[in-house]
């Protein structure tokens, strides 16, 4: 009589349980050897499913393709912290899912229609699928200024402060809207707050950050649109990523 030892590996399914399963299958006329194998399907990711409802339809399949953008996503995901990580009594209870806290930002720049916004939403989707909580807001610079205009029943100051403090912000088409002293003030307050608090932000713009020697003098640059104070803060908080190529929208047309 063979005796089992503690060092012996345990079977995945005991003989008794295997016999019971085989009997149940036989009752239903199912032969395990010929039964079809169902393909593995990935489990749904609730955060990504929720994000999909807020992402514009054109970008719901977006994924980060540029190496620097993909590296940024990994950095932000790896530095996410548990909500109670900095509490005095952090050992009490479970801290919960890791959330985006602080980190570097991105400045995606290049011509029109070459994939900057697609890449930005791809980064948002990748973060929501990375297992960390992501509270995010996306808007264009033009829409931001429109939302800030005074109108009945709306508190622009409260709205701006909420956007300033969101853990992850996507600000699209920076420098595309008509500028004024008022828009410059809003841009400065937003960028300055996020720079000082190291809140991850993805900026996109069609304009080169500064004028290069080979550029024609009449072509605008981001510095002309946002001013030196904003550009200085963008330089300090962002990794600049240049996109090149032709307009994809024209190619599809």
User: pLDDT in tens for each of the 253 residues of the chain?
Assistant: 555 454 455 455 467 767 777 787 778 777 766 655 545 545 556 667 777 888 999 999 999 999 999 999 999 998 887 665 554 444 444 445 678 889 999 999 998 888 999 999 999 999 988 877 788 999 999 999 999 888 888 888 999 999 999 999 999 999 998 889 999 999 999 999 999 999 999 999 999 998 877 777 778 899 999 999 999 999 999 999 999 877 777 666 5
**Which residue has 């509270």 as its token pair?**
135
Structure tokens at 194: 């996020």
With residue 205 as reference, give the H or E element that holds it: strand 201-205
Cα–Cα distances (Å) from 116 to 28, 53, 69, 212, 237, in that order, read 56, 20, 10, 21, 18
Tell me the domain boundaries of the chain: 46-83+97-247
Closest CA to 173 of 250, 246, 251, 109: 109
State the pTM of this model. Answer: 0.76
Q: What angle do CA 157, 161, 164 make, to 5 degrees?
A: 140
Closest CA to 124 of 208, 48, 17: 48
CATH architecture of 46-83+97-247: 3-Layer(aba) Sandwich (3.40)
């Amino acid at each position: 009589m063979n005796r089992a030892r503690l060092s012996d590996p345990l079977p995945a399914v005991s003989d008794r349980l295997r016999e019971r399963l085989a009997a149940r299958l036989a009752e239903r006329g199912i032969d395990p050897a010929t039964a079809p194998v169902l393909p593995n399907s990935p489990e749904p990711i609730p955060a990504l499913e929720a994000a999909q409802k807020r992402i514009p339809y054109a970008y719901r399949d977006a994924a980060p393709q540029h190496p620097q953008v993909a590296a940024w996503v990994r950095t932000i995901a790896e530095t996410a912290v548990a909500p109670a990580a900095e509490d005095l009594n952090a050992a009490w209870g479970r801290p919960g899912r890791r959330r985006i806290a602080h980190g570097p930002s991105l400045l995606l720049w290049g011509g029109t229609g070459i994939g900057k916004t697609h890449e930005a939403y791809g980064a948002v989707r990748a973060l929501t699928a990375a297992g960390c909580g992501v509270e995010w807001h996306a808007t264009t610079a033009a829409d931001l200024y429109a939302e800030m205009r005074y109108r009945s029943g709306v508190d622009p100051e409260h709205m701006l402060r909420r956007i300033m403090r969101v853990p992850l912000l996507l600000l699209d088409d920076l420098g595309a809207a008509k500028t004024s002293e008022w828009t410059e003030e809003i841009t400065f307050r937003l960028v300055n707050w996020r720079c000082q608090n190291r809140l991850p932000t993805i900026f996109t713009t069609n304009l080169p950050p500064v004028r290069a020697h080979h550029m024609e003098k009449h072509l605008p640059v981001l510095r002309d649109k946002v001013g030196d104070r904003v550009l200085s803060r963008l330089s300090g908080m962002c990794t600049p990523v240049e996109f090149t190529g032709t307009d994809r929208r024209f190619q599809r047309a």
